[in-house]
Structure 1
Amino acid sequence: MILPDLDELIALQSAAQGLDLRAHRAALAQLPGGHRSAQRGRGLEFEEVRPYAEGDDRRSIDWRVTARRGRPYTKVFREDRERPAWLLADLHQALYFGSKRQLKSALLLRAAALLGWVTVGGGDRLGAVLAQDDLPPQIFSPRGRNAGVLPLLQALVKAQPRSPGEPKAQGFNSALSLLASLVKPGHLVFVLSDFSGLDSRSEALLAGIAAQCDCRLLWITDPLESSGLPDGDYRVGVPGKLRWLDGASSKPAWQRNWAAREKRIGDLALKLGLPLTRLHTADDITQTLPALLRQPAWAR
């Protein structure tokens, strides 16, 4: 399968024409759930505190300052017309796999590029954290226009795996921890991953991010992962750890393992109130992702 190059990812800018993330922020702010704060999704950024006045929104009271000064103080916000949207790209070696159309890593690159172009095309700034197995995560500070997208696309093309490997949680968790220290209330976060390295640490970090941001999970999947191997004998695994499997006899255990993984990811998304969207290697991202972005509420 062909690996995406920089020219292809730049060309995805045309598929982003007419798409905007802001409509989703407004729709998402109306979704129920105790995890969503009063500040989430309203396009405002903290500016200062001042004494509370009659008619102020009580939800904006700054209780720390109030307790320290002995009288009510309220937070004042200003409209932020260029709020950052963050991408977390979990680009580990195990994504070098695909049974339909494209590798999972290629799908992640194309989805990240398209979301990046949509972000800056709508006038927002794009920031990103790139996870790579045992390497320290790369940070891309929020920037607008081409300056926000092109450095990320270059890094994605360079970092994409070129051979298969085993999934690891370390790179994903390091990136999540770093992202949690960078985001602020009201920021928009897209987590692009196959979640193969999801563990209790990942879940705790995602909970922290979800507590203050509009966060969405984009789950990179391949049809073979859920269906199992067709009938016949196959050598499966990674270099140095290959073994023979019979498709028919391995299918029940394969599908049970997938169902357990599917349940864990689905339960986590439900618990944290996070929209979960599956992106399939069999689909054309220039068709599926724009269709999702045009929906009034993205919660699949």
Structure 2
Amino acid sequence: MGTYRSVFRGSGLDFEEVREYEPGDDIRSIDWNVTARMNAPYIKKYREERELNIYLAVDVSSSAWFGTGGLSKRELAADVAALLAVTALHNNDRVGLVLFADGVREFIPPRQGRHHLLHIIRELLYTEPRRSRTEIASVADYLANVTKKRNVVFVVSDFLDVDFEAPLRALGHKHDLIALILNDPREAELPSVGLVALEDAESGRVGYLDTSDPAVRERFARSARERRAQRLRAFSRMGIDRVELSTERPYVPALLGLFNARSRRN
């Protein structure tokens, strides 16, 4: 995580002054109101904060129980969030935690320190998923109310909520938002094991599939591909950074790839 600091450069900014535009300045910083009054281009100058607030918004809906690889999605989410918390605190940033499902279940305000880190890790490890849907709007609305400044927000979820685009878009306008998408291979492809009962982890509905039928497996896989494509198109429309993490593959290389890309962009 050596690129950590450059990844989030400029995420926490305090307004400092307005000065005249100089060649090479970022035109996105132009203050159009002052420019109109002075009849000359002026820009807003900001001072970067030395410390950041990092919010970890972790999905603990019932679909988090699912997992056929080395980890369940719940365990993967806990591991990833704990790593991000350790890294942030090592860089003297403040870390907060929001656990959510169909509403916010737990909120730990951002702080620093070893005891605070242990508190976060305990909540990640011991909060049990409940039978409920994933509602991204619940955490987006909550953070909009409790945070005033621009922060870094990681949303760790499988994003099974079909209505996540509007609340995430609103959250992304205010904060530096990064989506960590949790996947399990069996959500995309069924093995051939005969008749199986499949339960929707969030609604509780049960259906039966004959997985020995190649046509059934193909329909299942095609439906999963379509859902994934729709989800990724939504993130592209929003312009939000995201990375997919699998329960059967190491997650650190995927995170490093995302952070390196952001570092180059900054």
Q: In 2, are the aligned partners of 1:169 and 1:197 still within 8 Å (CA)?
A: yes
Does the residue aligned with 1:257 lie in a helix, a strand or coil?
helix
| Aligned-partner residue type, residue 23 of structure 1 | S
| One of 237, 241, 247 as aligned partner of 1:281 | 247
Aligned to 1:188: 152
Cα distance in structure 1, aligned partners of 2:65 and 2:227? 19
Q: Which runs of 5+ in 2 are unaligned?
A: none
- 177 and 137 in structure 1: CA distance in 2 versus 1, 3 angstrom threshold: farther
* Structure 2 residue corresponding to 1:254, chosen from 207, 211, 220: 220
Q: Is the 8 A contact 2:183 2:244 kept in 1?
A: yes
The correspondence of residues 134-283 of structure 1 with structure 2, limited to 5 A, is 135-161=103-129, 165=131, 168-170=133-135, 172-181=136-145, 182=147, 184-185=149-150, 187-199=151-163, 202-237=164-199, 241-249=205-213, 250-283=216-249
Q: Deviations over 1:214-244 (max 9, x none)?
A: 2221110000111124241112216974443
| Separation of aligned partners in 2, 1:177 and 1:24 | 25
CA-to-aligned-CA distance 1:122-153 (integer Å, 9 cap, x gap)? 222212321033x5343222212325432222
The percentage of aligned residue pairs carrying the same residue is 25
Give the Cα separation in 1 of the matches to 2:115 and 2:15: 26
Change (3 A) 1:190 1:235: same
| Residue segments in structure 1 that go unaligned for 5+ positions in a row | 1-17, 26-40
Aligned residues: 255
Contact 2:21 / 2:30 at 8 angstroms: preserved in 1? no
CA-atom RMSD in angstroms: 3.2
CA apart distance, 1:204: 1.0
Secondary structure of the corresponding residue to residue 99 of structure 1? coil
SS in 2 for 1:160: coil
Residues 232/176 of structure 1: CA separation in 2 closer, same or farther (3 Å cut)? same
Would the alpha carbon gap of residues 298 and 204 (structure 1) be closer, same or farther in structure 2, given more than 3 Å must change?
farther
- Say whether the 8 Å CA contact 2:52–2:94 is kept in structure 1: yes
**Shift of residue 245, structure 1, vs aligned partner:** 1.8
Partner SS state of residue 107, structure 1 = helix
Deviation of the 1:293 alpha carbon: 6.1
When residues 234 and 43 of structure 1 are mapped into structure 2, their CA distance, relative to the original with a 3 A threshold, is closer
Q: Give the TM-score taking structure 2 as reference length.
A: 0.80
2: CA distance, partners of 1:44 / 1:237: 43
Q: What SS class does the counterpart of residue 260 from structure 2 fall into?
A: coil
| Structure-1-length-normalised TM-score | 0.72
Residue 261 of structure 2 is aligned to residue 292 of structure 1 = no
Q: Measure the CA separation in 2 of the matches of 1:261 and 1:290.
A: 23
The 3-state SS of whatever aligns with 1:98 is: coil
Counterparts of 2:21 and 2:254 in 1: how far apart (Å)?
Answer: 46
